[in-house]
């Protein structure tokens, strides 16, 4: 079994990827999408979004980070994919699932799920452009408004030459409403000959086992569950007890320090607040820090967290 950290734009950035992969249990990350329009992205821009490109395409813990592209122009996607591969990316993933209206207006993300032929063209073009030893993969939802094209989309990805695919078991119309339609993962897995990575609604160790049982998929991608419970993947792999707050707090402090090292002073507390806001559902202790940040008493919070980090 491989456990993969999901791409989460605006949430799972380089610092969280660093922290979560050092906590352990994660075999692979997919970075948040990079939007491709009509030009070649610059190295500077790519290194800002996926800084792991500067360190062999891996996090500090040595976990590979695949770069995800979002767009609808096959030629442009292929040219950018080749460039990103030349920068040392350990894999290129193509986004066929993003539901954001601005993205879909330009024909990228989930809107392509209505056009399996175009998905095939894109995957084939990217596969041709990238050296054979570098995996080209895709991530899809089950459809735009319904699941009628789900199997056709999966077949298009496989026939285009993708090495494996992730399926987020929801349509765009489902948004993030539970439950995810795990039963569709089994259908897709039986339809295509490439590896299918299962994704959607894994919050606990038991969820992961249930998802694997229902879908028959070996590998699982986890998104929000890994942010809420940073040791989730580690526990799935080891069967260890859940991490207590005292153990987690130094990791939160480390995260905050990384933010402060690379961001404008006013932005770091906002990002910390975002993570604490999610952590507090699993860790009541995070609630206190979260409320202090909400009250803009950031220096108090900083002092507390960093004291624990010394
Ligand atoms: C804040 C946020 C940002 C996301 N950004 C991306 C993205 O950049 N690319 C992508 O393919 N999926 C993105 N997703 C979808 C996740 O990768 C994943 O498919 C989804 O959250 C379901 O998995 P989960 O139930 O384990 O969270 C995002 C999800 C969230 C919540």
Radius of gyration of the chain (CA): 19
- Tell me how far the alpha carbon of residue 8 lies from the centroid of ligand 1, in angstroms: 5
For residue 101, what is the domain's CATH number? 3.20.20.70
Which of 238, 269, 297 is the C-terminal boundary of a domain? 238
Q: Could you tell me the two tokens for 14?
A: 């380089």
pLDDT at 310: 53
- Tell me how far the alpha carbon of residue 77 lies from the centroid of ligand 1, in angstroms: 21
pLDDT at 308: 67
In a shared domain, residues 22 and 163: yes
Q: What is the dihedral of CA 237, 255, 13, 219, to 10 degrees?
A: 0
In a shared domain, residues 143 and 192: yes
pLDDT at 276: 95
- Tell me how far the alpha carbon of residue 150 lies from the centroid of ligand 1, in angstroms: 18
pLDDT at 293: 85
Q: How far does Cα 77 stand from its chain's mean position?
A: 19
Q: Could you tell me the two tokens for 45?
A: 């821009």
Helices 74-86 and 116-129 meet at what angle, rounded to 10? 30
Q: Can you give the residue range of the structural domain that contains 285? A: 245-309
pLDDT in tens, 247-287: 999 999 999 999 999 998 888 999 999 999 999 999 999 99
In a shared domain, residues 74 and 35: yes
Which of 201, 222, 238 is the C-terminal boundary of a domain? 238
In a shared domain, residues 31 and 175: yes
pLDDT at 309: 60
Q: How many domains does the chain fold into? A: 2
Within 10 angstroms of residue 52's Cβ, the number of other Cβ atoms is 26
Catalytic (active site) residue 98: yes
Q: Tell me how far apart the alpha carbons of residues 246 and 273 are, in angstroms, rounded to a whole number.
A: 18
Q: How far does Cα 250 stand from its chain's mean position?
A: 24
In a shared domain, residues 127 and 275: no
pLDDT at 103: 66
In a shared domain, residues 164 and 190: yes
In a shared domain, residues 190 and 47: yes
CB 56 within 8 A of CB 15: no
Question: Does residue 33's CB lie within 6 angstroms of at least one atom of ligand 1?
Answer: yes
Q: Atom 23 of ligand 1 has which residue's CA nearest to it?
A: 200
In a shared domain, residues 231 and 284: no
Which of 222, 238, 254 is the C-terminal boundary of a domain? 238
pLDDT in tens, 56-91: 999 999 999 999 999 999 999 999 999 999 999 999
In a shared domain, residues 45 and 141: yes
In a shared domain, residues 117 and 262: no
Q: Atom 10 of ligand 1 has which residue's CA nearest to it?
A: 7
Which residue ranges of the chain lie beneath pLDDT 50?
Answer: none
In a shared domain, residues 128 and 254: no
Q: Could you tell me the two tokens for 75?
A: 């030629």
Question: Does residue 222's CB lie within 6 angstroms of at least one atom of ligand 1?
Answer: yes
CB 252 within 8 A of CB 276: yes
Q: Tell me how far apart the alpha carbons of residues 46 and 157 are, in angstroms, rounded to a whole number.
A: 25
CA distances from 35 to 73, 93, 120, 142, 278 (A): 11, 12, 19, 21, 26
Which residue among 7, 71, 184 has the greatest number of ligand 1 atoms within 8 angstroms of its CB, and so is best to mutate?
Answer: 7
In a shared domain, residues 199 and 294: no
pLDDT at 242: 96
Please count the residues of the chain.
Answer: 310
């Amino acid at each position: 079994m491989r456990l993969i950290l999901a791409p989460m734009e605006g949430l799972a950035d380089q610092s969280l990827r660093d922290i979560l992969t050092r906590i352990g249990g994660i075999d692979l990350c997919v970075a948040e999408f990079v939007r491709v329009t009509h030009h070649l992205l610059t190295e500077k821009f790519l290194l800002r979004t996926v800084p792991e490109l500067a360190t062999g395409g891996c996090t500090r813990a040595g976990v590979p980070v695949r770069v995800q592209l979002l767009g609808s122009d096959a030629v442009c996607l292929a040219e950018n994919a080749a460039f990103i591969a030349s920068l040392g990316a350990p894999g290129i993933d193509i986004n066929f699932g993003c539901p954001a209206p601005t993205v879909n207006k330009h024909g990228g993300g989930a809107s392509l799920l209505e056009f399996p032929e175009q998905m095939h063209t894109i995957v084939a073009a990217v596969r041709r452009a990238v050296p054979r030893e570098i995996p080209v993969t895709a991530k899809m939802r089950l459809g735009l408004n319904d699941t009628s094209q789900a199997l056709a989309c999966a077949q298009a990805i496989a026939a285009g030459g993708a090495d494996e695919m992730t399926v987020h078991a929801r349509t765009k119309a489902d948004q993030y409403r539970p439950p995810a339609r795990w039963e569709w993962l089994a259908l897709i897995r039986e339809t295509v000959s490439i590896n299918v990575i299962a994704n959607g609604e894994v919050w606990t160790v038991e969820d992961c086992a249930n998802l694997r049982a229902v879908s028959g998929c070996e590998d699982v991608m986890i998104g929000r569950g890994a942010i809420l419970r940073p040791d989730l993947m580690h526990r799935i792999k080891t069967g260890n007890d859940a991490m207590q707050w005292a153990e987690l707090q130094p990791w939160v402090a480390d995260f905050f320090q990384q933010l402060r090292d690379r961001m404008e002073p006013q932005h770091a507390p906002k990002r910390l607040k975002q993570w604490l806001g999610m952590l507090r559902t699993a860790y009541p202790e995070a609630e206190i820090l979260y409320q202090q940040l909400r009250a803009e008493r950031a220096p108090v919070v900083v002092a507390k967290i960093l004291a624990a980090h010394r």
